[in-house]
Structure 1
Amino acid sequence: MARINAGRFTHRYHGELVVFLIGMRINKPWRPDLWLPVFLAMPRMLAELSREPGSGLLGFRFAVGPGGPAIVQYWDSVDKLYAYASASDSGHRPAWTAFNRRARKAPKAVGIWHETFQVSRAESMYVSTPTLGLAQATELVPVGPGSHQARERLSGPR
Protein backbone atom coordinates (compact mmCIF):
# COMPACT_ATOMS: atom_id res chain seq x y z
CA MET A 1 0.00 0.00 0.00
CA ALA A 2 1.24 3.48 -0.87
CA ARG A 3 2.54 5.64 1.96
CA ILE A 4 0.06 8.37 2.93
CA ASN A 5 1.51 11.85 3.36
CA ALA A 6 -0.10 13.33 6.48
CA GLY A 7 -0.80 17.03 6.13
CA ARG A 8 -1.22 19.48 3.27
CA PHE A 9 1.08 19.38 0.27
CA THR A 10 1.47 20.96 -3.13
CA HIS A 11 3.91 20.55 -6.01
CA ARG A 12 6.97 22.54 -7.06
CA TYR A 13 8.16 22.75 -10.64
CA HIS A 14 9.99 25.29 -12.76
CA GLY A 15 9.99 25.18 -16.54
CA GLU A 16 7.69 24.33 -19.39
CA LEU A 17 4.80 22.06 -18.45
CA VAL A 18 2.62 20.17 -20.91
CA VAL A 19 -0.37 18.09 -19.89
CA PHE A 20 -1.30 15.47 -22.45
CA LEU A 21 -4.54 13.52 -22.08
CA ILE A 22 -4.91 10.41 -24.19
CA GLY A 23 -7.53 7.72 -24.14
CA MET A 24 -9.50 5.17 -26.01
CA ARG A 25 -13.21 4.71 -26.42
CA ILE A 26 -14.38 1.10 -26.44
CA ASN A 27 -17.37 1.26 -28.77
CA LYS A 28 -17.82 -2.50 -29.14
CA PRO A 29 -16.92 -4.06 -25.77
CA TRP A 30 -17.91 -7.51 -27.07
CA ARG A 31 -14.99 -7.32 -29.54
CA PRO A 32 -11.83 -7.43 -27.38
CA ASP A 33 -9.98 -8.70 -30.44
CA LEU A 34 -10.39 -5.16 -31.84
CA TRP A 35 -9.82 -2.99 -28.76
CA LEU A 36 -7.43 -5.04 -26.60
CA PRO A 37 -4.39 -4.51 -28.89
CA VAL A 38 -5.01 -0.74 -28.70
CA PHE A 39 -5.25 -0.95 -24.90
CA LEU A 40 -2.03 -2.99 -24.63
CA ALA A 41 0.00 -0.62 -26.84
CA MET A 42 0.02 2.25 -24.33
CA PRO A 43 1.86 0.49 -21.45
CA ARG A 44 4.64 -0.45 -23.87
CA MET A 45 5.01 3.17 -25.00
CA LEU A 46 4.98 4.46 -21.40
CA ALA A 47 7.65 1.92 -20.44
CA GLU A 48 9.76 2.98 -23.41
CA LEU A 49 9.46 6.65 -22.44
CA SER A 50 10.13 5.95 -18.75
CA ARG A 51 13.37 4.12 -19.56
CA GLU A 52 14.72 7.18 -21.41
CA PRO A 53 15.51 10.02 -18.95
CA GLY A 54 15.62 12.66 -21.70
CA SER A 55 12.30 11.66 -23.28
CA GLY A 56 10.45 14.60 -21.75
CA LEU A 57 7.85 12.47 -19.96
CA LEU A 58 7.77 13.61 -16.33
CA GLY A 59 5.09 11.19 -15.18
CA PHE A 60 1.65 9.81 -15.88
CA ARG A 61 -1.52 8.62 -14.25
CA PHE A 62 -3.99 6.01 -15.48
CA ALA A 63 -7.76 6.44 -15.09
CA VAL A 64 -10.88 4.70 -16.31
CA GLY A 65 -13.88 6.75 -17.29
CA PRO A 66 -17.08 6.34 -19.25
CA GLY A 67 -16.31 4.44 -22.41
CA GLY A 68 -12.74 3.45 -21.65
CA PRO A 69 -9.34 4.19 -20.18
CA ALA A 70 -7.45 7.48 -20.22
CA ILE A 71 -3.96 8.52 -19.21
CA VAL A 72 -2.89 11.91 -17.91
CA GLN A 73 0.71 12.54 -18.94
CA TYR A 74 2.99 15.34 -17.74
CA TRP A 75 5.74 16.45 -20.15
CA ASP A 76 8.56 18.97 -19.83
CA SER A 77 8.27 20.07 -23.46
CA VAL A 78 5.69 20.07 -26.21
CA ASP A 79 8.55 19.64 -28.68
CA LYS A 80 9.63 16.40 -26.97
CA LEU A 81 6.03 15.12 -26.97
CA TYR A 82 5.71 15.75 -30.70
CA ALA A 83 9.19 14.38 -31.39
CA TYR A 84 8.27 11.09 -29.71
CA ALA A 85 4.98 10.88 -31.60
CA SER A 86 6.71 11.32 -34.95
CA ALA A 87 9.99 9.45 -34.34
CA SER A 88 10.40 6.57 -36.77
CA ASP A 89 12.13 4.44 -34.13
CA SER A 90 9.58 4.99 -31.32
CA GLY A 91 6.91 2.55 -30.18
CA HIS A 92 4.27 5.08 -31.19
CA ARG A 93 4.75 4.65 -34.94
CA PRO A 94 4.02 0.91 -35.13
CA ALA A 95 1.13 1.29 -32.66
CA TRP A 96 -0.39 4.10 -34.74
CA THR A 97 0.04 2.10 -37.96
CA ALA A 98 -1.58 -0.98 -36.38
CA PHE A 99 -4.48 1.10 -35.07
CA ASN A 100 -5.14 2.60 -38.49
CA ARG A 101 -5.01 -0.84 -40.11
CA ARG A 102 -7.55 -2.23 -37.61
CA ALA A 103 -9.75 0.87 -37.89
CA ARG A 104 -10.07 0.37 -41.65
CA LYS A 105 -11.14 -3.27 -41.14
CA ALA A 106 -13.59 -2.54 -38.31
CA PRO A 107 -14.64 1.12 -38.36
CA LYS A 108 -16.19 2.44 -35.16
CA ALA A 109 -15.11 -0.55 -33.03
CA VAL A 110 -12.62 1.46 -31.00
CA GLY A 111 -11.76 5.13 -30.97
CA ILE A 112 -8.77 7.05 -29.70
CA TRP A 113 -8.49 10.67 -28.67
CA HIS A 114 -5.97 13.09 -27.22
CA GLU A 115 -5.80 16.65 -25.94
CA THR A 116 -2.63 18.70 -25.38
CA PHE A 117 -2.35 21.64 -22.97
CA GLN A 118 0.64 23.96 -22.58
CA VAL A 119 0.38 25.12 -18.99
CA SER A 120 1.75 28.49 -17.96
CA ARG A 121 0.84 28.05 -14.27
CA ALA A 122 -0.46 25.12 -12.25
CA GLU A 123 -1.90 24.82 -8.76
CA SER A 124 -2.25 21.64 -6.74
CA MET A 125 -3.35 20.46 -3.30
CA TYR A 126 -2.91 17.03 -1.75
CA VAL A 127 -4.28 16.31 1.74
CA SER A 128 -3.71 12.90 3.33
CA THR A 129 -2.91 11.20 0.01
CA PRO A 130 0.03 9.29 -1.36
CA THR A 131 2.25 11.28 -3.70
CA LEU A 132 0.31 11.37 -6.95
CA GLY A 133 -0.51 13.35 -10.05
CA LEU A 134 1.53 16.45 -10.77
CA ALA A 135 3.40 16.16 -7.45
CA GLN A 136 4.56 12.66 -8.38
CA ALA A 137 5.69 13.90 -11.80
CA THR A 138 7.53 16.89 -10.31
CA GLU A 139 8.24 17.50 -6.61
CA LEU A 140 5.98 17.16 -3.55
CA VAL A 141 6.42 20.01 -1.06
CA PRO A 142 4.56 20.94 2.13
CA VAL A 143 2.14 23.84 2.00
CA GLY A 144 3.87 26.72 3.76
CA PRO A 145 3.80 30.48 4.06
CA GLY A 146 2.38 32.07 0.94
CA SER A 147 0.83 28.83 -0.32
CA HIS A 148 -2.11 28.16 2.00
CA GLN A 149 -4.76 29.24 -0.50
CA ALA A 150 -5.22 28.08 -4.09
CA ARG A 151 -4.92 31.67 -5.32
CA GLU A 152 -1.52 32.01 -3.63
CA ARG A 153 -0.25 28.72 -5.05
CA LEU A 154 -1.38 29.67 -8.54
CA SER A 155 0.15 33.14 -8.51
CA GLY A 156 3.30 32.34 -6.54
CA PRO A 157 6.59 31.13 -7.95
CA ARG A 158 6.58 27.56 -9.15
Structure 2
Amino acid sequence: MAQKVFPGRYTAAPGRPVTVFLIGMRANRWWKLGTVMRVASAMPGMLRHLGENPEAGMLGCEGWFGRTTVLVSYWESPEHLQRFASDRDAPHLAPWRDFMRTVAGSGDVGVYHETYEVAPGGIEAVYNGMPLFGLARATGHVPVTAGLNTARQRLRSSGAA
Protein backbone atom coordinates (compact mmCIF):
# COMPACT_ATOMS: atom_id res chain seq x y z
CA MET A 1 0.00 0.00 0.00
CA ALA A 2 1.47 3.33 -1.06
CA GLN A 3 1.93 5.91 1.66
CA LYS A 4 1.06 9.54 1.05
CA VAL A 5 4.23 11.57 0.53
CA PHE A 6 4.21 15.08 1.95
CA PRO A 7 6.07 17.41 -0.43
CA GLY A 8 8.15 20.05 1.28
CA ARG A 9 9.74 20.16 4.68
CA TYR A 10 8.14 19.02 7.92
CA THR A 11 9.27 18.55 11.48
CA ALA A 12 8.11 16.58 14.51
CA ALA A 13 6.21 18.34 17.25
CA PRO A 14 6.19 16.13 20.32
CA GLY A 15 5.70 19.01 22.76
CA ARG A 16 6.87 16.84 25.66
CA PRO A 17 9.70 14.52 26.69
CA VAL A 18 9.91 11.31 24.66
CA THR A 19 11.56 8.02 25.50
CA VAL A 20 13.32 6.51 22.48
CA PHE A 21 13.87 2.76 22.63
CA LEU A 22 15.99 0.87 20.10
CA ILE A 23 15.71 -2.90 20.17
CA GLY A 24 16.88 -5.56 17.81
CA MET A 25 18.58 -8.81 17.12
CA ARG A 26 21.43 -10.15 15.01
CA ALA A 27 21.52 -13.55 13.36
CA ASN A 28 25.10 -14.47 14.27
CA ARG A 29 24.68 -17.98 12.90
CA TRP A 30 22.15 -17.32 10.14
CA TRP A 31 22.22 -20.95 9.07
CA LYS A 32 20.47 -21.79 12.37
CA LEU A 33 17.29 -20.47 10.80
CA GLY A 34 14.94 -22.19 13.27
CA THR A 35 16.53 -20.45 16.25
CA VAL A 36 16.68 -17.10 14.44
CA MET A 37 13.01 -17.32 13.44
CA ARG A 38 11.92 -18.39 16.93
CA VAL A 39 13.55 -15.30 18.44
CA ALA A 40 12.26 -12.99 15.67
CA SER A 41 8.71 -14.35 15.88
CA ALA A 42 8.16 -12.88 19.36
CA MET A 43 8.18 -9.25 18.17
CA PRO A 44 5.00 -9.15 16.02
CA GLY A 45 2.86 -10.25 18.98
CA MET A 46 4.41 -7.59 21.19
CA LEU A 47 3.78 -4.88 18.58
CA ARG A 48 0.20 -6.07 18.04
CA HIS A 49 -0.40 -5.96 21.81
CA LEU A 50 1.08 -2.45 22.07
CA GLY A 51 -1.00 -1.23 19.12
CA GLU A 52 -4.17 -2.59 20.69
CA ASN A 53 -3.30 -1.18 24.14
CA PRO A 54 -2.25 2.48 23.74
CA GLU A 55 -2.33 2.90 27.53
CA ALA A 56 0.86 0.79 27.56
CA GLY A 57 2.61 3.94 26.37
CA MET A 58 4.20 3.17 23.01
CA LEU A 59 3.56 6.14 20.71
CA GLY A 60 4.83 4.56 17.48
CA CYS A 61 7.68 2.66 15.88
CA GLU A 62 9.70 2.04 12.71
CA GLY A 63 11.56 -1.16 11.90
CA TRP A 64 14.24 -2.46 9.54
CA PHE A 65 14.89 -6.12 8.97
CA GLY A 66 17.97 -7.99 7.86
CA ARG A 67 20.77 -9.98 9.44
CA THR A 68 20.85 -7.20 12.04
CA THR A 69 17.36 -5.96 12.80
CA VAL A 70 16.41 -2.73 14.53
CA LEU A 71 13.12 -1.39 15.79
CA VAL A 72 13.04 2.27 16.88
CA SER A 73 10.09 2.98 19.15
CA TYR A 74 8.85 6.11 20.86
CA TRP A 75 7.32 5.91 24.34
CA GLU A 76 5.47 8.17 26.76
CA SER A 77 8.11 7.57 29.45
CA PRO A 78 10.75 5.11 30.65
CA GLU A 79 8.23 3.97 33.27
CA HIS A 80 5.75 2.94 30.55
CA LEU A 81 8.48 0.96 28.80
CA GLN A 82 9.64 -0.74 31.99
CA ARG A 83 6.07 -1.51 33.03
CA PHE A 84 5.45 -3.24 29.67
CA ALA A 85 8.72 -5.19 29.90
CA SER A 86 7.88 -6.59 33.34
CA ASP A 87 4.11 -7.07 32.92
CA ARG A 88 3.29 -10.76 33.38
CA ASP A 89 0.14 -10.33 31.26
CA ALA A 90 1.92 -8.64 28.33
CA PRO A 91 3.65 -10.67 25.60
CA HIS A 92 7.24 -9.71 26.50
CA LEU A 93 8.24 -11.45 29.71
CA ALA A 94 7.63 -15.06 28.57
CA PRO A 95 9.62 -14.76 25.28
CA TRP A 96 12.43 -12.97 27.12
CA ARG A 97 12.63 -15.72 29.73
CA ASP A 98 12.56 -18.36 26.96
CA PHE A 99 15.40 -16.58 25.14
CA MET A 100 17.48 -16.38 28.33
CA ARG A 101 16.87 -20.06 29.09
CA THR A 102 17.40 -21.54 25.61
CA VAL A 103 19.35 -19.15 23.34
CA ALA A 104 21.34 -16.63 25.40
CA GLY A 105 24.98 -17.59 25.62
CA SER A 106 24.86 -19.88 22.58
CA GLY A 107 26.11 -17.19 20.21
CA ASP A 108 23.43 -18.12 17.64
CA VAL A 109 21.39 -14.93 18.02
CA GLY A 110 22.34 -11.68 19.66
CA VAL A 111 19.83 -9.20 21.05
CA TYR A 112 20.27 -5.61 22.14
CA HIS A 113 18.41 -2.56 23.29
CA GLU A 114 19.19 1.06 24.05
CA THR A 115 16.94 3.53 25.86
CA TYR A 116 17.14 7.32 25.62
CA GLU A 117 15.04 9.77 27.59
CA VAL A 118 14.90 12.96 25.52
CA ALA A 119 13.69 16.32 26.83
CA PRO A 120 11.85 18.57 24.37
CA GLY A 121 14.92 20.83 24.08
CA GLY A 122 16.97 17.85 22.88
CA ILE A 123 14.71 16.94 19.97
CA GLU A 124 15.24 18.06 16.39
CA ALA A 125 13.82 16.43 13.30
CA VAL A 126 13.24 17.26 9.65
CA TYR A 127 11.48 15.28 6.91
CA ASN A 128 11.63 16.41 3.28
CA GLY A 129 9.41 14.71 0.73
CA MET A 130 8.62 11.86 3.12
CA PRO A 131 5.49 10.01 4.20
CA LEU A 132 4.65 10.20 7.89
CA PHE A 133 7.69 8.70 9.54
CA GLY A 134 9.48 8.24 12.84
CA LEU A 135 8.96 10.74 15.61
CA ALA A 136 6.64 12.88 13.47
CA ARG A 137 4.35 9.92 12.84
CA ALA A 138 4.41 9.01 16.54
CA THR A 139 3.86 12.46 18.02
CA GLY A 140 2.95 15.17 15.54
CA HIS A 141 3.79 16.25 11.98
CA VAL A 142 3.97 19.97 11.24
CA PRO A 143 5.26 21.99 8.30
CA VAL A 144 8.58 23.78 8.62
CA THR A 145 7.71 27.47 8.76
CA ALA A 146 9.65 30.67 9.43
CA GLY A 147 11.72 30.18 12.56
CA LEU A 148 12.02 26.41 12.01
CA ASN A 149 14.29 26.40 8.94
CA THR A 150 17.51 25.26 10.61
CA ALA A 151 18.32 22.52 13.09
CA ARG A 152 19.33 25.21 15.61
CA GLN A 153 15.95 26.93 15.24
CA ARG A 154 14.06 23.65 15.60
CA LEU A 155 16.02 22.76 18.73
CA ARG A 156 15.38 26.21 20.18
CA SER A 157 11.65 25.98 19.43
CA SER A 158 11.44 22.58 21.11
CA GLY A 159 12.59 24.03 24.40
CA ALA A 160 16.37 24.42 24.25
CA ALA A 161 17.76 27.63 25.73
User: Do both share a fold (TM > 0.5)?
Assistant: yes
SS of equivalent to 2:65: strand
**Structure 2 counterpart of 1:96, one-letter code:** W
TM-aligned CA deviation for residue 46 of structure 1: 0.8
**What one-letter code is carried by the residue in structure 1 that aligns with 2:21?**
F
Match of 2:110 in 1: 111
Gaps of 5+ in 1: none
Off by >4 Å, runs of 4+ in structure 1: none
Gap runs ≥5 in structure 2: none
Alignment of 1:5-154 (within 5 A): 5-64=6-65, 67-103=67-103, 107-120=106-119, 121-154=122-155
For 1:53 and 1:113, how far apart are their aligned partners in 2? 24
Residue-pair matches, total:
156
Work out the CA distance in 2 between the residues paired with 1:118 and 1:157. 15
For residues 97-156 of structure 1, give each alpha carbon's deviation from its aligned partner in whole angstroms, at most 9, with x where no partner exists. Answer: 11112226x711101100000011211111111110110101110001210111000111
Aligned AA (1:90): A
| Secondary structure, aligned partner of 2:63 | strand
Do the aligned residues in 2 keep the contact of 1:34 with 1:102 (CA within 8 Å)?
A: no
Contact 1:57 1:73 in 2 (8 A): yes
For 1:119, give the aligned amino acid: V
Please report the TM-score for the alignment, with normalisation by the length of structure 1.
Answer: 0.94
TM-score, normalising length: structure 2:
0.92
**Deviation at 1:32?**
1.0
What is the root-mean-square deviation in Å for CA atoms of aligned residues?
1.4
Alpha-carbon distance in 1 for matches of 2:16, 2:55? 15
Per-residue deviation, 1:16: 2.2
Cα distance between partner residues in 1 of 2:86 and 2:17: 20
Given that 1:21 and 1:71 are in contact with CA atoms closer than 8 Å, whether structure 2 keeps it comes out as yes
**What code does the residue aligned with 2:61 have?**
F
